[in-house]
Amino acid sequence: MGSSPAAVAPVGGARHPYAPTPYRVLSRVSETADTVTITLAPAGGAPIDAHRPGQFNMVYAFGVGEVAVSISDGGRFPAPLVHTVRSVGKVTHALAGVVPGQVLGVRGPYGRPWPTEPAEGRDVLVVGGGLGLAPLRPLLQELLAHRERFGRVEVIYGARSPKDLLYYPEIQSWRQRTDLRMQVTVDAAGRDWYGDVGLVTARLADVRLDMARTVAYLCGPEIMMRTTARDLVDRGIPEEAIWLSLERNMKCAIAQCGHCQFGPVFVCRDGPVFAYRDLRRLLAVREV
């Protein structure tokens, strides 16, 4: 674990597109049984470029591999990088098991961010499912940092169970705010849960926004985004006012390898944030 940072330093002053920048693990916080949030700071060298909400980095566990991970905190540059990782494969298992002091490689930031300009002066609806809250969190932080620019803001967050909710302390603080309305729902729960149970789409009926003047941001399992976007259009949100973030198997992150190709688009370069209007037909095609 933790190779020498010198082994991956830029050569000849110009950073090779595939060369990771060494970052040291500052902290590791368990979110759920299989998901952790890690905080990283440059391991002595220059940091990577500033990021925008919705972008992602390629995070490299030396000797194991590299994966795309959303940036899950909107801290202003050059604040430490924050990534929330769910252990589902070899690389993410290694990343979820890091310890403070360990060195990882980081390339990025990549991808198109959440566009917030279209939401200025309008109501905002943010809908997240499961780990999909991670790339939405910096967006929410930005909305709240410039709260006066937006109308009413509502959040719907769905998870598998109460034990699978991310950022629980932050959710509690969001729910106490008077300038933000947040609904939390889970797929199933025991008797110690007094919140809502059901899909995020079931909570849409309780949204109190002016739908014709609302901009929506969605991230979560694809089937959730598809059904939610469809319901939102039925409820009056224009297609062009719905934005969603796709997850695909990204390898190079610079639109060279084709691993993340989704029909005619490369998710790493053209996304991961897309306008629903541009993706609606593709989302309905099987096996794309």
Partner 1 sequence: MTEPLHRHESALRIADHPFLRGLDPSLIESLSEQAVERDFDPGEFLLRDGETADGCYLVFHGKIALEVSAPDRGRLTIQTVGPGEILGWSWLTPPYRWQVDARALKHVRVVRLDAGVLRRTFTELPEAGYQFLLRLLPVVAHRLENTRIQLLDVHGV
CB neighbour class for 26 (10 Å; exposed up to 12, middle 13-18, buried from 19) = middle
Q: Considering only 15-23, 54-62, 220-228, 250-258, which stretch makes contact with partner 1 by CB under 8 A?
A: 220-228
Instruction: Give one DSSP letter per residue of 135-179, joined into a string.
Output: HHHHHHHHHHHTGGGSS-EEEEEEESSGGG-SSHHHHHHHHH-SS
By CB under 8 A, residue 33 contacts partner 1: no
Residue position matching structure tokens 């209007």: 277
Binding-site size, partner 1 (CB under 8 A): 29
By CB under 8 A, residue 223 contacts partner 1: yes
By CB under 8 A, residue 194 contacts partner 1: yes
By CB under 8 A, residue 182 contacts partner 1: no
Contacts of residue 97, defined as CB under 8 A and 6 or more positions apart, other chains included, come to 87
| Cβ–Cβ < 8 Å for 22, 9 | yes
Please select the residue that binds partner 1; options are 129, 135, 271, 272, rule is CB under 8 A: 129
Nearer to partner 1, 189 or 254 (CB): 189
Please select the residue that binds partner 1; options are 3, 27, 227, 261, rule is CB under 8 A: 227
Q: Considering only 94-102, 142-150, 180-188, 238-246, which stretch makes contact with partner 1 by CB under 8 A?
A: 180-188
* Closest of 17, 15, 76, 4 to residue 44, by C-alpha: 4
Respond yes or no on whether the N-terminal peptide bond of residue 272 is cis (omega within 30° of 0). Answer: yes
Single-letter code of the amino acid located at 87:
S
By CB under 8 A, residue 171 contacts partner 1: no
By CB under 8 A, residue 99 contacts partner 1: no
By CB under 8 A, residue 237 contacts partner 1: no
First to last CA, the chain: 36
Instruction: Spell 90-104 as b/e; 16+ CB within 10 A means b.
Output: ebbebbbebeeebbb
Please select the residue that binds partner 1; options are 22, 53, 74, 130, rule is CB under 8 A: 130
Q: Considering only 40-48, 72-80, 93-101, 195-203, which stretch makes contact with partner 1 by CB under 8 A?
A: 195-203
CB of 221 to partner 1, least distance (A): 4
Pairing of strands 81-86, 35-42: antiparallel
Q: How far is CA 242 from the centre of its chain?
A: 16
Nearer to partner 1, 39 or 92 (CB): 92
CB of 118 to partner 1, least distance (A): 28
Contacts of residue 24, defined as CB under 8 A and 6 or more positions apart, other chains included, come to 40, 41, 42, 43, 101, 102, 103, 104
Per-residue CA distances from 136 to 23, 25, 211, 226, 258 (Å): 23, 22, 20, 17, 25
Q: Considering only 6-14, 124-132, 248-256, 257-265, which stretch makes contact with partner 1 by CB under 8 A?
A: 124-132
Q: Considering only 2-10, 110-118, 194-202, 251-259, which stretch makes contact with partner 1 by CB under 8 A?
A: 194-202
By CB under 8 A, residue 224 contacts partner 1: yes
By CB under 8 A, residue 136 contacts partner 1: no
Binding-site ranges for partner 1 (CB under 8 A): 129-131, 158-160, 164, 185, 187-191, 193-199, 201-202, 205-206, 220-221, 223-224, 227
